[in-house]
A and B are shown apart, each in its own frame.
Chain A
């Protein structure tokens, strides 16, 4: 391993690594436009200039391999001057678009100019005009004048999405980024080019002009679009409801996680957040009329206490069916198991039919539920559990007297008339979910519950990785988190649970479900943790 000195600090860096990587491990940031850790090295923007002792000229940090005894200065006067000159070239033809540019505020041209540009412009000639505001695909807008030709987007479409739509055409100051003839940037990962474009040349059409980036708050979470569970940050605004027609979420950006999604995410997840602000259930409803949470909890528990009792008319026990959902968190599924399956002896399932979606061998999974794996581990989808269709069939046959559905729309399984009939025949029919649907309309109690961004909890992705979803903002209007509702009902049923928060529920879950053994919220952290394999479980048991 070569040992080199960067800004007076020594570091061992592996063979073949570059100075920019070595500096990064030391926590020294070297400016970059074309370098991206997920893409090949192009070395064309020259902003990463550094001074290497015994070398007459400045070198580019992104493509200079480390060597033994190398002495590097990343912010010497000479290096800074070199960068200033590079910026002057980059900005020579750059339009004065910052006021209308959506990148403004998170733009590396702006940032680096403020860090070491600060020159007075000397370019008096006419700037080259190129095409502005070209929709290159369903999600991305291109502004050729703002492009600094770093070629990150070209390398992304060549190397990551492997669709090759982008290219750089013409030469000199007429060089421009564009699509190959007849192409559209419509691959399933197209939104990523917006993230990697260091300037405002590629911007999001969905986010276009909706807000300025400095209005956005950010919260780390996990995409719930499919079983991959890509790590993301949601960007939202709560204090300016006039933006975006009052919707809180403005955009979703991938968050780096080496083990799950690296720097990327798919477009379906990136733009599929509309349901969190639109079409939500906002009020507790009883038979279609408004009610309060207190009434709902009291009314529902009263019926639930009768479960298991003998019905004097029919001479059989009253029975409950529960259709849970792999969209719920592990904590909630665990509560459902403890309350409904264990305490009330209900027929519980979390396997609901869902048509398999598109998939590929990169990120997108056919299973569009974020927590199928977790539901299986908690035992709500295994062979002993019925599936949703079976429970609905039993209900229609009159074997079940009460039914609780979590979020699922039963019209996907039965015809409308059957749903009506089912609703009339049941003593108790509860629907709890985030968005309105026909099942909510037919239920006796419709409970508005929090979307996944509005509650704490964990999901297990397809690779058996437990990830926390965090809580970006409080539940919408009158809705409540499912775990809170379940805990309240457990309290009324005198089940004696001492848990008060998802974290405490998770601790109980970790004690009770072996693969989760040894995990805590702290250990899961921001990047998730792999579930215990059988071997590591044994190890924990020994220590």
Chain B
């Protein structure tokens, strides 16, 4: 790979004098202060409503509105019978540039569905939030519309979402009980495939 050396522009004499630069910086700050002071006072009086002034959000108590196409934490959409809409086609696993999706497919009891994921993990510690997985999915089975932004954990392992958390975004670690009624690879059962209801394939 060729190395390109970028030279920083030398300062002019005017810039080296320092004091004029401080003055011009203060000018910008003061202009913002006065403008916001004026606009917020005017808004109080019901005037100039169409001009926006700077505000501070009290995050996390107060949440910023998200654009509809904003990419937040993933979820898996669910069929009426409680199984995931995902058919385990592994296209998202294939397209994911970060290689953070792990899918193992199994036989769905309904031959018209045929296939579904017994395991579906996303490692959010690795995910780059590109949204390709959503775009490639032929079944509208994975979405990034939960609005959840506060993805944080104390360990890398805890950054891994499994099928429980993906199908029910309100779940937060540590998970205590498994509510899924179909066979899946269950962290609560030590990563074994739980066979609560249907049989696993073969």
Contacts and interface: CB of A to CB of B under 8 A. Distances in A.
Contact of A242 (B87, B114, B119, B138): B119
Contacts of B111: 132-133
Given A99-B87, A242-B119, A132 B105 contact: no
A100 B102 contact: no
B107 interface: yes
B180 interface: no
Nearest to B88: A209
A483 B106 CA distance: 41
B171 interface: no
Given A99-B139, A132-B111, A212-B94, A242 B104 contact: yes
B106 A209 contact: yes
Contacts of A209: 88, 105-107, 115, 201
Most chain B CB within 10 A, of A98, A99, A132, A133, is at A99
Given A99-B138, A209-B88, A212-B90, A243 B104 contact: yes
B91 to A, nearest CB: 7
A100 B115 contact: yes
A261 to B, nearest CB: 29
Interface string B131-148: 000000011000000000
Nearest to A105: B94
Interface in A190-243: 208-212, 214-215, 242-243
Interface in B75-91: 87-91
A208 B107 contact: yes
B24 interface: no
B201 A208 contact: yes
Which of A104, A132, A133, A214 gathers the greatest number of chain B CB atoms within 10 Å? A133
A524 to B, nearest CB: 37
Interface string A126-156: 0000001100000000000000000000000
B95 to A, nearest CB: 11
A97 B91 CA distance: 14
Contacts of A214: 94
Interface residues of A, number: 16
Contacts of B90: 211-212, 215
A323 to B, nearest CB: 38
B56 interface: no
A132 B112 contact: yes
Most buried by B among A209, A212, A214: A209
Interface string A5-24: 00000000000000000000
A38 B91 CA distance: 34
Contacts of B88: 100, 209
A446 to B, nearest CB: 31
A98 B136 CA distance: 13
Interface centre among A100, A208, A212 (most CB of B within 10 A): A100
A324 to B, nearest CB: 38
Contacts of A212: 89-90, 94
A243 B102 CA distance: 9
B114 A100 contact: yes
B107 A242 contact: no
Contact of A132 (B89, B94, B114): B114
Nearest to A97: B114
Nearest to A205: B202
B184 to A, nearest CB: 14
Nearest to A211: B90
A104 B114 CA distance: 14
Given A132-B112, A132-B114, A209-B107, A100 B94 contact: no
Given A99-B115, A242-B103, 4 more contacts: A99-B91, A100-B114, A209-B115, A212-B89
Interface of A: 97-100, 104, 132-133, 208-212, 214-215, 242-243
Smallest CB-CB A-B distances: 10 pairs: A99-B89, A100-B115, A209-B105, A133-B111, A132-B111, A100-B114, A99-B138, A100-B87, A212-B90, A99-B87
14 contacts: A97-B114, A99-B87, A99-B115, A99-B138, A99-B139, A100-B87, A100-B88, A104-B89, A132-B111, A132-B112, A133-B107, A209-B105, A242-B102, A242-B104
